[in-house]
């Protein structure tokens, strides 16, 4: 048995420790699912309450101007832009990630009209693939979605590829693509590069500008903690903005929505990718949740994320040896996002037993237990305690109960 790391020392020197008090995580819960739904912050709670009472309630329609609802998608987009290496005016908040995939991919395909292949990989999140195949079919122009293994993307880039559409961090394994390298390869092949940052934004520094990415999308409710159903974001590289034509051209992307012209004229910039009225209350929650990133360097978040993940892997492997767990995340932190996944034949029931003890992760079929590590509110002590709870459940077989085997709709 290897030495236990000095958990207390790691927490004592944690520069992000003071942020924890801002998160309203129930007593007794160790929350390892912020990669799926970030927790409530006091600020988001208060801001949503105020948006309801002081803005909607008191201002009524005047809120569009007086409370700044109208410009919120762009303002909040710029706040997210800072976290993903995008300049002001290149990110907007809108819709959900699936819809943003549709909008960005359709715009990208039009920019490479002579090419017919959308290249993606089998590590992509299914909704991205469903949207791409539906779009390919719906356009009726002979497009094809080509899905290869994650390691085979580079070799599959040829002059038939219009768009390389990838998710940076694999939602199941946490494996992280090299965005910069693959984007450069896509460009060499004459293709555009579109990235889904669902498991990247807020988890580590993303550099869309440095990577030269053409389009990007991502969720507001995962590491950004915007709340269930919080709107998503999208990015269009500044040089492309005036050339993109939104396939869903709506009035909120119009140059002058309140001129009520019968014809469509796109807004200058990324804002043309908006469609209709934004979800003002959710957007207020997302805006306030982003305060947690103010004054924090993404490098500090990344350093702690790596430390939390390394601690978890080490503790699980030290305490759970011989119980059939298999690390499915990369061992090298350099190619891993901010999650750690272990496969176990009874992973679903084991995860339910963990959740019953207040250690909340999730499960992805067929056998993956997924643990997300959000540095703004987790401590090494909690991570070690989660590993110890897992060891106890496996040691005692306490997972083996009918109530832990019964599958819920959301796993």
Ligand X SMILES: *Cc1c(COP(=O)(O)O)cnc(C)c1O
Question: What residues act catalytically?
Answer: 125, 196, 221-222, 370
d(CA 371, CA 131): 27
* Among 7-15, 92-100, 142-150, 173-181, the segment contacting ligand X (CB under 6 A): 92-100
Name 191's Cβ contacts closer than 8 Å, sequence gap at least 6: 112, 115, 119, 157, 161, 162, 163, 164
Out of 97, 173, 225, 329, the only residue in the binding site for ligand X (CB under 6 A) is: 97
**Contact between 98 and ligand X (CB under 6 A)?**
yes
d(CA 195, CA 219): 12
- Least Å from the CB of residue 85 to ligand X: 18
**Contact between 93 and ligand X (CB under 6 A)?**
no
If you ran DSSP here, which 8-state letter would residue 277 be given?
-
Out of 127, 160, 209, 398, the only residue in the binding site for ligand X (CB under 6 A) is: 127
**Contact between 50 and ligand X (CB under 6 A)?**
no
Q: Between 98 and 133, whose beta carbon lies closer to ligand X?
A: 98
* Contact (Cβ atoms closer than 8 angstroms) between residue 200 and residue 169: yes
d(CA 45, CA 47): 6
Out of 182, 186, 232, 234, the only residue in the binding site for ligand X (CB under 6 A) is: 232
Beta strands at 232-236 and 91-94: parallel, antiparallel or unpaired: antiparallel
Best CA proximity match to 379, nearest among 134, 1, 32: 32
* Contact (Cβ atoms closer than 8 angstroms) between residue 101 and residue 127: yes
Q: Between 30 and 129, whose beta carbon lies closer to ligand X?
A: 129
- Least Å from the CB of residue 123 to ligand X: 10
- Least Å from the CB of residue 102 to ligand X: 10
At residue 382, the 3 state secondary structure works out as helix
Q: How many residues bind ligand X (CB under 6 A)?
A: 13
- Least Å from the CB of residue 94 to ligand X: 11
If you ran DSSP here, which 8-state letter would residue 169 be given?
B
* Contact (Cβ atoms closer than 8 angstroms) between residue 364 and residue 171: yes
- Least Å from the CB of residue 163 to ligand X: 16
Out of 125, 204, 223, 363, the only residue in the binding site for ligand X (CB under 6 A) is: 125
Name 119's Cβ contacts closer than 8 Å, sequence gap at least 6: 146, 148, 153, 156, 157, 161, 163, 164, 165, 191
- Least Å from the CB of residue 106 to ligand X: 16
Out of 14, 33, 196, 362, the only residue in the binding site for ligand X (CB under 6 A) is: 196
* Among 192-200, 239-247, 296-304, 376-384, the segment contacting ligand X (CB under 6 A): 192-200
Best CA proximity match to 118, nearest among 153, 154, 143, 91: 143
**Contact between 103 and ligand X (CB under 6 A)?**
no
Out of 33, 55, 128, 346, the only residue in the binding site for ligand X (CB under 6 A) is: 128
**Contact between 171 and ligand X (CB under 6 A)?**
yes
Tell me which residues touch ligand X (CB under 6 A): 96-98, 125, 127-128, 167, 171, 196, 198-199, 219, 232
């Amino acid at each position: 048995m290897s030495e236990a790391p000095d958990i207390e020392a790691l927490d004592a020197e944690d520069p992000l420790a003071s942020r924890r008090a801002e998160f309203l995580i129930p007593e007794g819960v160790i929350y390892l699912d912020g990669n799926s739904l970030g927790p409530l912050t006091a600020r988001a709670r208060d801001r949503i309450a105020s948006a309801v009472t002081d803005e909607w309630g008191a201002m009524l329609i005047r809120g569009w101007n007086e409370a700044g609802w109208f410009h919120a998608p762009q303002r909040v987009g710029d706040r997210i832009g800072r976290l993903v290496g995008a300049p002001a005016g290149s990110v907007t908040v809108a819709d959900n990630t699936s819809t943003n995939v549709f909008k960005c991919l359709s715009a990208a395909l039009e920019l490479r009209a002579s090419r017919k292949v959308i290249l993606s990989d089998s590590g992509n999140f299914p909704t991205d693939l469903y949207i791409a195949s539906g779009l390919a079919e719906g356009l009726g122009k002979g497009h094809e979605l080509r899905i290869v293994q994650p390691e085979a993307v580079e070799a599959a880039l040829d002059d038939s590829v219009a768009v390389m559409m990838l998710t940076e961090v694999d939602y199941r394994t946490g494996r992280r693509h090299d965005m910069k390298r693959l984007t450069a390869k896509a460009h060499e092949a004459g293709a555009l590069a579109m990235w889904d940052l669902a498991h990247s934004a807020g988890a580590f520094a993303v550099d869309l500008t440095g990577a030269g990415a053409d389009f990007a999308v991502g969720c507001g409710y995962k590491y950004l903690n915007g709340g269930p159903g919080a709107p998503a974001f999208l990015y269009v590289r500044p040089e492309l903005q005036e050339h993109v034509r939104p396939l869903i051209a709506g009035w909120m992307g119009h140059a002058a929505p309140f001129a009520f012209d019968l014809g469509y004229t796109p807004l200058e910039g990324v804002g043309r990718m908006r469609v209709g009225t934004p979800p003002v209350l959710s957007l207020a929650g997302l805006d306030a949740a982003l305060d947690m990133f103010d004054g924090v360097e993404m490098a500090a978040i990344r350093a702690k994320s790596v430390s939390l993940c390394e601690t978890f892997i080490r503790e699980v492997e030290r305490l759970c040896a011989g119980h059939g767990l298999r690390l499915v995340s990369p061992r090298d932190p350099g190619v891993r996002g901010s999650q750690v996944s272990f496969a176990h034949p009874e992973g679903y029931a084991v995860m339910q037993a963990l959740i019953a003890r207040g250690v909340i992760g999730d499960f992805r079929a067929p056998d993956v237990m997924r643990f997300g590590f959000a540095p703004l509110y987790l401590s090494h002590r909690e991570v070690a305690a989660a590993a110890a709870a897992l060891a106890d459940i496996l040691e005692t077989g306490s997972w083996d109960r009918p109530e832990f085997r019964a599958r819920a709709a959301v796993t």
